[in-house]
Structure 1
Amino acid sequence: MWTQSCSKIYPGVTKEAVWKLWTDVNNWPRWDTELEYCQMQGAFAKDSQFILKPVGGPKVKIILSEVVPYETFTDYCTFFGATMHDYHHLEETPDGLRITNTITVTGPLGLLWTHLVAKNVAKAVPRQMDALAELAKASHD
C-alpha cells in the first residue's frame, strides 16, 4: 500500500464555502487545472459516480464511497489490479480551516499504478488545495 497526505491551514476560509466547491463537481476545473472536465449527474452522495478527464489523460470513473457534509468525503477509482482512494477532510482550527487530502493505492499492481498515476496526482494536491481555498475565500468575501 502507498499513501501520501497533504494538510494545510487556511485562515479566513469556511468549511461551507469549500464544501460548496467540492460538491459542485462539474466545476472542479475552476480550481483544479489538472482537469480538462468533470461530469456528474445527480447528488453528491455515497455511491454516486462521476467522470473526470485529466489534461492529457483518459477519462476516469470516480465513485464516492463516503460523504459527511461539511466534514469529509472519500472517492475512489479502480485500475487493473489496484484501487486509488482519495480522502478529503475539513477541520476547523483556531488558526483557520485545515484541509487534508490523502491518497492511497492498494492492490497487487498498486506499485505500478502509484508510479503511473498516483504520484503525479499527489504532486498536484498542494497547488489544487491553494486554488480551492483562494476561490472559497473569494466566494465568501
Structure 2
Amino acid sequence: MTSNLLYRGPGIAELHEEYAKKRVLDEKAPVKAAAEISVAAPTEKVWRLISEIDRWPAWNPAVRDVQVHGGVAVDTSFIWVNGKSRVRSTLAVVDPLHEITWSGVSAGIKAVHRNVLERTPDGTVRVTSMESMSMPFLGLIFSSTKLRSGLNDWLTALRQAAEKA
C-alpha cells in the first residue's frame, strides 16, 4: 500500500510517448477506471463530438475554457477546464472513428485518457472511456470510484448529445 501511495508514475513526456501513444494506461497508477456506454447514433456523429475538442463545452456541462493549439492530430496540445481542474493535454492517438487518446497533467496529476469506439452488431456504438492517474498521495484525495463516476458523466453527456435528432 505504501509503495502505491508514493507512486509518482513516469514523467509526462514518457507517459505520452510510451503509454498514451501505445494505447495503454499506466497500470501501476493508484487511480484507474473504465466505463462504457452504448450510443444509438452513427459512429461518425459520436466521433465528431469527441474529436471536436473546442466544442466539448457545447455538450458537456463539466467542460469549459477549451483552447486547442492545432488540428485534431497526434501531438496537438489543448488546455481545458474539467470541473474545477485546469488540464494541459496532448493528443496521443487519433484513429478516426475508432479511438482518441490524450495524456494530460493537472496540479501535478499525470493522466492518460482513452476513448475507444466500436460499432456493435445491433447498430449502436459502444464507447469505452478509460483513464489512469498518478501522483504521490493521490489515493488520499481522489479515488478510482470518483474517477469512474466522472467517466460515466462524460459518457452520459456524450450519449445525450449524440442521440439528439
TM-score tier by shorter-chain length is: 0.7 to 0.9
Stretch moving more, 79-88 or 39-48: 79-88
From 80, 85, 88, give the equivalent of 1:61: 88
**1:78-114 CA distances to partner (integer Å, 9 max, x unpaired)?**
357652100100001123110000011246x2x5178
Q: CA deviation at 1:71?
A: 0.3
From 25, 48, 52, give the equivalent of 1:24: 52
Unaligned 5+ runs, structure 1: none
Greater strand share, structure number: 1
Stretch moving more, 96-105 or 77-86: 77-86
Answer yes or no: is 1:41 the counterpart of 2:39: no
TM-score, scaled to structure 2? 0.71
TM-score, scaled to structure 1? 0.81
Stretch moving more, 61-70 or 37-46: 37-46
SS in structure 2 of the partner of residue 21 of structure 1: helix
RMSD of aligned Cα (Å) = 2.4
Unaligned 5+ runs, structure 2: 1-28
Answer yes or no: is 1:86 the counterpart of 2:113: yes
SS in structure 2 of the partner of residue 94 of structure 1: coil
- Relative to 1, partners in 2 of residues 1:83 and 1:98: Cα closer, same or farther, differing over 3 Å? same
State the identity as a percent. Answer: 22
